[in-house]
Amino acid sequence: MVWLSIGLGIWLTSHAFDLTLSFVGSFVVVGYLAVGVSLPTPGGAGGFHVMYKVALTSFFGADADAAAAAAVVLHAISFVPVSLFGLWFMWQDGLSLGRLRAMRAEAQAAEKL
């Protein structure tokens, strides 16, 4: 179900930008995005966008500028809600970013013992 929802998000976002690809074709893009997000950048920025653009222009003949714009929107749609939910659940558990940093420092200090 997760892969289907990812494919659906790619397909819908692409169509919103008039980039034509089939639903099955969106899974080709998924493969490229998996490579893009494996690059060590904060939040997968950069690699995600480049690989989306490469997949859409190489396989589906999409306009490069439209593909770049769609990549930014798709990344925001997939990254922002997950991040907000993560912050919400942290808050529910009484955690903050500062507390997480302190927990990491405590764990590193304990490893040195």
Instruction: Quote the Cα angle for 8-25-56, to 5°.
Output: 100
- Give the residue extent of every domain in the chain: 2-80
At 70-103, the pLDDT tens digits run 999 999 998 899 899 999 999 999 999 899 899 9
pTM of the model: 0.78
Region 58-68: mean pLDDT is 95
Question: In a 3-state reduction of DSSP, which class is residue 36?
Answer: helix
pLDDT > 90: what percent of the chain?
Answer: 77
Q: Identify how many contiguous H helices and E strands the chain contains and give both numbers.
A: 5, 0
At 14-54, the pLDDT tens digits run 999 999 899 999 999 999 999 999 988 888 889 999 999 99
Helices (H), 17-96: 26-37, 47-60, 64-92
Looking at residue 7, its pLDDT comes to 93
